[in-house]
Structure 1
Amino acid sequence: MGLGKERSKFGRYLDAQSITQSKLAVAAGVPSSTISRLAQSDRHEPSYSVGRRLILTLRAEGYAVGDDDFWTS
């Protein structure tokens, strides 16, 4: 956050909402390395199941996110 690193749309969203990668990883049941990779660059996209799990977790936490807000697949 604010360290001059390249960030994906997903990463910028996490930053703007003050959502930590580690807490999201635990809540979604995915490795923190997966969250980190997805937050780095828009070149990275999750598998359908991981992307779906992340979206459903964010929604369960009260965030209004759409299925295609961050990734095309």
Structure 2
Amino acid sequence: MFGLGKQRTKLGKWLDKRGITQAWLMEKTGLNKNTIGDLTNDKERSPTQKTMKKILKAIREIDPSVKSDEFWDM
């Protein structure tokens, strides 16, 4: 079970619901493990504009209709 016992962000919950791993997101975005881990587990962490674009580009391979406000309050 993904995310079991963890506090997850909206992004983390979205990945868990679809069975997508953080490793997949790391591979697709080129972002490091700490950045992906923080953005999926730390509700206080917000991505930079550049990081957000990389994540959205990867996620849109799965769901082209995804918008940034589904994950982050900007």
TM-score with structure 2 setting the length: 0.86
Map of 1:1-73 to 2, 5 A cutoff? Answer: 1-59=2-60, 61-63=61-63, 64-73=65-74
Identity %: 33
C-alpha distance in 2 between matches for 1:31 and 1:12: 19
Q: State the 1:2 CA deviation.
A: 4.2
User: What letter corresponds to residue 26 of structure 2 in structure 1?
Assistant: A
C-alpha distance in 2 between matches for 1:7 and 1:44: 11
- The number of residues matched between the two structures is 72
C-alpha distance in 1 between matches for 2:73 and 2:9: 13
Farther off after superposition, 26-35 or 62-71: 62-71
Stretches of structure 1 that go unaligned for 5 or more consecutive residues are none
Q: What is the CA RMSD across the aligned residues, in angstroms?
A: 1.3
Runs of 4+ in 1 over 2 A off after TM superposition: none
Stretches of structure 2 that go unaligned for 5 or more consecutive residues are none
